[in-house]
Each structure stands twice: as structure tokens, then as C-alpha cells.
Structure 1
């Protein structure tokens, strides 16, 4: 898969900080041990929110990773996470509630992982 967009320049970045606390809270709604299964309507809202969080996080984590040496382990790990997040963004949820919940849970794990990588890379502090 080829990227057609250019890396964002510092001038093109959105100056507003990410609200990682809200992102992690959204993920926690599905991943907490005591999480109640969402209704179909709530699942749709959570899935859309998680996708939006991922779309905001991916380029920011990518920018943070780009500043590390090519052979850096943290850079390689972040890039693998970015690749998995992009793959998950391209998938559609299943046709029933359990499949939709499983899909949303995978998105939630990607949101958490992207936030973790951003913190570890010293980028914006979620």
C-alpha cells in the first residue's frame, strides 16, 4: 500500500493537544473487566468514536516515531502498531452484535496501544 499524502510539517499540525484521557475512557468502556455489553446504538457510537480517535492518533504517533533512528526498537514497534491500526480501520464490523462488539474491542486495544506508543516516544502526552 502506497501513501499518497506527504508527512505533515510542523506548521501543518493541529496545535490542539489530543484528549487521550477521553480516548482511553472510550476504550475502557469496552475493555474493562466489569464492562457491560453495549446496546446496538451504543456500540455504533463507541465504534465511530474509536475510529475517530485512531484517525487522530495514527499521524501523531507516526510523526513521533519518525524522529527516532531508523534502527530504533521503539520506532519499529510504533510502526507495527500503526500498520495494525490502519488495517483495523479498513475492516468492517460483523453483521451481528457479538461480532460488532469484538470489532470494537479490537479498535479499543489499538487506541490504547497508540496512546502508549505516543507516551513512550515522547510525543504529545496522552
Structure 2
């Protein structure tokens, strides 16, 4: 199981579950979710992002300002925040595309958590 300890006093992040949620929408053989499933997946992905963004921000903040991994992580955070500020489209295909963008952000943020945590050790 892929767990990373979050900030002081926080529970570990369950990156495996977060990646599995994203995979539900991004896998090549992914089935189109129902409207109800899509709403649940979208809300779940948004929740994952809300947990991941501050952790990546904290980890990136430990790195020197001119560090390339820091810059990449901060760019990812900016994109994730932008995506959190958008709403799904009115049609099922537009809502699926929105959820897929959230899923890609979740995957990228998970990667940064792992990479920046490894750099800290």
C-alpha cells in the first residue's frame, strides 16, 4: 500500500486509493460512469486534491527557491487550484472530461508527494 505521512499530526495520505480513483476515469479500458457515479467520482477527486495540494505545497516549500522539482510542483499546484475552480459542463461527455482533468491532477499531485517526500530523506 502506498501511504505517505502527511503534515505533523495528520493521518497518512492513501495515495493508492487516490490513484485508483483517478484510474477509474483514465484507464484505457475505463467504462463510462453513470451520472450518479460520475458525481461521486468528481467529488471524491476534488476531496483528494484538497488533501494533496497543501501537502505538496509544504514539501515544495522545503526546497530551495531555484530548485526545478519545486518549480514543477508549484506549477502543478497552480493547475490543480485552477481545475478546482471550474465546474463540469452540462452534458455527460463534458462532465466526464472535467472529471478526467481532475483525475490527471490527482495523479500528478500524488507523483509530487512521492518525489518530494523522497527528496526530503
| Aligned-residue offset at 1:122 | 1.4
Within 1, Cα distance between the matches of 2:84 and 2:109? 13
User: What aligned pairs does 1:69-108 form with structure 2 within 5 A after superposition?
Assistant: 69-108=64-103
Which one has a larger percent helix, Structure 1 or Structure 2? 2
What are the superposed Cα offsets for residues 74-118 of structure 1, whole Å, 9 maximum, x if unpaired? Answer: 000000000000000000000010000000000000000000011
Instruction: Pick one of 13, 21, 24 that aligns with 2:19.
Output: 24
Does residue 40 of structure 2 align to residue 45 of structure 1? yes
* Alpha-carbon distance, 1:15 to partner: 2.2
* Structure 1 ranges of 4+ moved more than 4 A: none
1:54-69 correspondence to structure 2 within 5 Å: 54-69=49-64
Aligned alpha-carbon RMSD (Å): 1.0
Runs of 5+ consecutive residues of structure 2 not aligned to the other structure: 1-6
Separation in 2, partners of 1:84, 1:20: 19
Aligned residues: 112
TM-score scaled by length of structure 2 = 0.90
| Aligned residue in 2 for 1:110 | 105
Q: Write the deviation string for residues 41-60 of structure 1: whole angstroms up to 9, x where unpaired.
A: 00000000000000000000
